Amino acid sequence: MSVPGPNDITRHVLPNELTLLIRENRTSPSVVVTGVLRVGAYDESPDQAGLADFTAEMLMRGTENRSFDRIYEELESVGASLGISGGTHGTGFGGKSLGEDLPLMLDVLSDFLRHPTFPPDEVEKVRGEILADLADRAHDTRRMANLTFYELAYPDGHPYAISSSGYPETISGIERDDLLAFYRGGYSPEGMILVVVGAVETEEVVAQVEDAFGDWDGMTFAREPLPEAPPITDVRERRVSIPDKTQSDVVLGYPGPPRTHPRYLDTRLCNTILGVFGLMGRLGEKVRDEQGLAYSSYSHLSGGPGPGPWRIVAGVNPANVERAVESIRAEVRRICEEPVQEDELSDSQAFLTGSMPLHLETNSGVAGTILSMERYDLGLDYLQRYKDLIDEITPERVQAAAERWLDPDAYALAIAGPPEDE
């Protein structure tokens, strides 16, 4: 098996600016489709938070050619799945089927992206489902800790400080006309990426995609530059009390680097050492293992189109919250103040480069990687250069990444769990 690269990925840009990438893989009879549209919560106003996600959720609820029932009957009857959901910068879609059913998937995808009808009764159904989910969120410690973290870590009014799922009051206020207007203003092939990987014939896929999307045109919303997400210079802590819970969820973190940052991989390697390698890196070793404070403790780097967060996450007994936070801060301090050991560095480098064959074993793994290569302009030869890019990183560069983005004394900290007096 060769690493996916320019020699076996076909990249084809349609005149309407849709970028199509295809890689054949005949080791199993299945195919994966994934991609993104350049429309999202970025393009909604704060008083309509959740509009982009609500709009995406409506697309599969009925089209000019298919009812909601028919869309899912057609897909599920052949064991295919297809879905779409709104994010902040983009709206992602994805699905899988047997290779023989790719034409059906592309036809359904094109149908709901281009010809949705927003049936009024389905608008109310979806609204009810979103409101029920938001009611559930209010009682979920993990989700509330994350929601609160974003509010603390980003300035007021920044798109990242606002939930892309919305809030009960904003979702209740969105009208069908708002959904239609958002759809008409933002959904277009401009900047759309579509990736197909699996048991397919490249030439046939190009023809099918041109057929399904070639005569779609239009533009997406014009975007103002994203507001700054300045580094945090103080301690911003907030607790959310949810009675009757037995565990507290802790999120401590910072605005992080975009995936396009020239030193992004330094940060990724630093994060691997801090909270991924082995069983969750240094955090797993100290917070979970040595102190037995938590079932889970790890770190996560978002690495999206903007300054998405670098978060440390732990689930702990409510009585241990302070100790866990101190233990997390001590690890942040250590990685900022001391260069990592050479062997620790080479272990994590070996992990990042050596795990590539595993990651590329499935169609969805390959498709996700190709999507990133295109979306973040990494180049189709990225995987071929990847090992060198990782291996050239030094302890100094890891420490510089930690110092640039982390701070043991200034951070956003959100804790959701039972009230302190329980």
Partner 1 sequence: MTTSNHSNGRFVQTELSNGLSVLVQEAHAAPVASFWIWYRVGSRNEHLGTTGISHWVEHMLFKGTPAFPKGTAEKAIAREGGAFNGATSYDFTTFFATLPTDRVDLSLQIEADRMANAVFDPEEVEAERTVIISERQGAENSPEFLLNEELMGAALRVHPYRNPTVGHMCDLETITRAQLYEHYQTYYAPNNALAVAAGDFDADAMVGLIEEHFGGIDGGDGVPPVTAVEPPQRGERRVVVRREGFVPYLKVAFRAPTVRESDFFAMTVLNAILTGASAMTFRGGGLTNKSSRLYKALVAAELAVGVSGMLLPTVDPFLYSISAMVRPEHSPAEVEEVVEVELARVATDAVTQEEVDKAIKQAQAQFAYSSESVTGHALWLGFSEIFADHTWAESYLDTLAAVTAEDVRRVAETYLERSSRTVGWYVPTDNEQMSNDK
Best CA proximity match to 301, nearest among 279, 274, 261, 268: 268
**Residues 279, 341, 377, 403: which binds partner 1 (CB under 8 A)?**
279
- Angle of helix 321-337 relative to helix 395-405, nearest 10 degrees, comes to 130
Among the listed residues 180, 206, 219, 242, the single contact to partner 1 using CB under 8 A: 242
Residue closer to partner 1 by CB (options 170, 363) is 363
Nearer of residues 275 and 305 to partner 1, judged by Cβ: 275
Task: Name the helix (H) or strand (E) containing 172.
Answer: helix 168-173
Is 229 or 274 the residue whose CB approaches partner 1 more closely?
A: 274
Closest CA relative to residue 129, chosen from 72, 33, 60:
60
* Binding-site member from 13, 47, 138, 394 for partner 1 (CB under 8 A): 138
284-343 binders of partner 1 (CB under 8 A): 285, 288-296, 315-317
Which span (219-227, 281-289, 305-313, 333-341) binds partner 1, by CB under 8 A?
281-289
Q: Which stretch binds partner 1 (CB under 8 A): 81-89, 102-110, 169-177, 395-403?
A: 81-89
What residues between 351 and 380 interact with partner 1 by CB under 8 A?
Answer: 351, 353-358, 360-363
Question: Which DSSP helix (H) or strand (E) runs through 338?
Answer: none
- CB burial class (10 A; 0-12, 13-18, 19+) of residue 354? exposed
- Residues 220 and 391: their CA atoms lie apart, in Å, by 39
Structure tokens at 332: 């942040």
Choose which of 12, 24, 72, 216 interacts with partner 1 (CB under 8 A): 72
Among 207, 235, 350, 410, binds partner 1 (CB under 8 A): 350
**Choice between 30 and 188, CB closer to partner 1:** 30
Residues 31 and 198 sit within 8 Å (Cβ to Cβ): yes
* From candidates 27, 172, 341, 394, binder to partner 1 by CB under 8 A: 27
Assess 79 for contact with partner 1 (CB under 8 A).
yes
Pairing assessment for the beta strands 411-417 and 235-241 based on DSSP bridges: parallel
The distance in angstroms from the start CA to the end CA of the chain is: 57
Residue 393 interacting with partner 1 (CB under 8 A): no
Interface with partner 1 (CB under 8 A), residue from 6, 13, 15, 29 = 29
- Please say whether the beta carbons of 211 and 15 come within 8 A: no
What is the rounded CA–CA span in Å between residue 197 and residue 201? 10
- Tell me the two tokens of residue 363: 């169609």
Shortest spacing between CB 38 and partner 1, in angstroms: 25
**Of 233, 421, 413, which Cα lies nearest the Cα of 322?**
413
**Beta pairing partners, 96:** 32, 81
* Segment interacting with partner 1 (CB under 8 A) among 7-15, 150-158, 239-247, 327-335: 239-247
With CB under 8 A as the contact rule, which of the stretches 75-83, 177-185, 221-229, 393-401 interacts with partner 1? 75-83
Interacting stretch for partner 1, rule CB under 8 A, among 108-116, 135-143, 158-166, 182-190?
135-143
The rounded distance, in Å, linking the Cα atoms of 106 and 216 is: 14
83 binding partner 1? (CB under 8 A): yes
CA distances in angstroms from 359 to 35, 64, 194, listed in the order given: 18, 39, 20
- Per CB under 8 A, residues contacting partner 1 are 1, 27-30, 68-69, 72-73, 75-83, 96-98, 125, 128-129, 131-133, 135-136, 138-142, 242-247, 277-279, 285, 288-296, 315-317, 347, 350-351, 353-358, 360-363
